[in-house]
Amino acid sequence: MNWNKLTHSNQLEEIRSLSMEKPVLIFKHSTRCSISSMSLDRLLRNWKNGDEEKITPYYLDLIAYRSLSDQIEEEFGVPHESPQVLIVKNGIAVYDNSHFGISYPEIMAQL
């Protein structure tokens, strides 16, 4: 899986723009949380070659860039959780889930 690392607030506008052509996945990961690590591992184990053609994945390290999560909450109207997955289509968050609710089949069903 080739993550785009989310490190700057100006990338949120890029995400909105990209989502007009192809859905964007944002995975918010706490590197200090075992549940977050398990959710990330489950997603990575199920990710298939070619999935990037269907959805553009972004990865947010919550420990290093916590303020970006606050901006995501404000921009997309989805309360912060950790770990958390959002799918952005046509500039708006159309799906979110967190903790053990993060499921590869459910994510792919949103596409």
Cis omega (within 30 of 0) for bond into 23: no
H/E stretch holding 71 reads helix 66-76
Average pLDDT over residues 3-17: 96
- If phi > 0 it is left, if psi is from -120 to 50 it is alpha, else beta; for residue 25 that is beta
Spell out the domain ranges in the chain: 4-109
Backbone φ and ψ for 38, nearest 5 degrees, come out as -65, -40
pTM for the model stands at: 0.94
Residues 45 and 41: their CA atoms lie apart, in Å, by 6
Q: What is the pLDDT of residues 53-88, one digit of tens each?
A: 999 999 999 999 999 999 999 999 999 999 999 999
* Domain 4-109 -> CATH class: alpha beta
